[in-house]
Amino acid sequence: MGKEIKISYKPWQQPVADANDKGLRKYRYSLSVNVKDKKMEEPLVVVGINPSYADDNYADPTICCVEEIAEANDYDGFIMVNVYPQRATDIDDEDENTKLPRNGFEEKNQIDDNVEKIYNIVQSLYRRDILLAYGGHIDDRKYLKDCLQKIYQRLENLHPNYKMIKVSKSGHPWHPLYALRYAKSPKTKTIVPADFNLIKIKP
């Protein structure tokens, strides 16, 4: 598995994780974190590609970047969800249990549970802003695109407000780590309405 960089939360933060880490393959469906010293009421929902090791005890670099983005855009917290719920720091890790399977639909129950949990989260919110932030790794497994389409279809009747940071040349919304740490073009925390004329995978 890729190197874990565990980062402590601020003393007043109250992260809540919905995860199943009991088996060989580990899953995280959501991670909610307040970014202001008060109860979270208007969070930004952020759709990544798959979770790493962050939980309700420690953050990781992605979660820290998402926190910066949520705070910069005046949300009081964020709820991190993912296209695919299996924990994997490296999608192509040598360990079969810590990389994403080649055939994701062997985990159909996990996929269906993930979609339903995302639906329940978004349905519960008054401000249904969703930042698409899954990045280019969605091209690494065909089933990841199918999982994203399942999420889009399930959320259709909720009419969410899809957001993005920027779009890559390959037509995918920037991942938060790329936007704040690795981009060669100017780094940015600003989010804007998703432009589906540029984004390859559409609702």
| Parallel/antiparallel/unpaired status of strands 161-164 and 192-193 | antiparallel
* Extended beta strands in the chain, E state: 7-8, 16-20, 27-34, 43-48, 58-59, 77-82, 129-132, 161-164, 192-193
Q: Judge whether 2 lies within some domain.
A: no
Q: How many folded domains does the chain comprise?
A: 1
Taking the C-alpha atoms of residue 69 and residue 63, their distance in angstroms, rounded to an integer, is 10
Q: Which residues pair with 20 in a beta bridge?
A: 27
Alpha carbon distance, N-terminus to C-terminus of the chain:
33
What are residue 177's phi and psi, to 5 degrees? -60, -40
Q: Judge whether 93 lies within some domain.
A: yes
> Residue 48 is part of which domain span?
7-193
Q: Judge whether 198 lies within some domain.
A: no
Taking the C-alpha atoms of residue 98 and residue 125, their distance in angstroms, rounded to an integer, is 32
Q: Judge whether 199 lies within some domain.
A: no
Q: Judge whether 47 lies within some domain.
A: yes
Q: Judge whether 1 lies within some domain.
A: no
CA-atom Rg of the chain in angstroms: 16
> Taking the CA of residue 113 as centre, how many other CA atoms within 13 Å lie in the half-sphere pointing to its CB?
13
DSSP 2: P
pTM: 0.94
Q: Judge whether 48 lies within some domain.
A: yes
Q: Judge whether 153 lies within some domain.
A: yes
pLDDT by residue for the chain (203 residues), tens digit each? 446 788 999 999 999 999 998 877 889 999 999 999 999 999 999 999 999 999 999 999 999 999 999 999 999 999 999 999 999 887 776 556 666 777 766 678 889 999 999 999 999 999 999 999 999 999 999 899 999 999 999 999 999 999 999 999 999 999 999 899 877 777 889 999 999 999 999 99
> What residues contact residue 36 under an 8 Å CB cut-off, 6+ apart?
71, 76, 77
